[in-house]
């Protein structure tokens, strides 16, 4: 399958291969791919990649979702600040 998907991460336009997870898009957008900040202020990034660790929580179109369990869709808006 060819093609690309264009989405917004924290206001920045990011282009990924179609079918990529939002966790992958976070890496494309910003190096380590930080998803959120813990209560003690530490940055957290996707860890398990399979929906278990809950470290990859982000807002996707206004709702809290797991980045590793969500496939990028055209025009999707992802926000990592919590």
**Binding-site ranges for ligand FES (CB under 6 A):** 23, 46-49, 51-56, 66, 68
**How many residues are present in the chain?**
82
Binding to other proteins in span 23-62, by CB under 8 A: 39, 54, 57
3-state secondary structure of 21: strand
d(CA 17, CA 4): 5
Closer to ligand FES by Cβ: residue 13 or 19 = 19
Q: Is 15 or 64 the residue whose CB approaches other proteins more closely?
A: 64
Query: How many Å apart are CA 69 and CA 23, to the nearest integer?
Result: 8
Binding site for other proteins (CB under 8 A): 39, 54, 57, 63-65, 82
């Amino acid at each position: 399958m060819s093609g690309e998907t264009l989405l917004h991460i924290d206001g920045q336009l990011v282009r990924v291969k179609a079918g990529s997870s939002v966790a992958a898009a976070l890496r494309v957008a910003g190096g380590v791919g930080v998803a959120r900040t813990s209560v003690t202020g530490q940055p957290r990034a996707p860890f398990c990649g399979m929906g278990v660790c809950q470290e990859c929580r982000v807002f996707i179109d206004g709702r809290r979702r797991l980045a590793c369990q969500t496939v990028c869709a055209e025009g999707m808006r992802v926000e990592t600040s919590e």
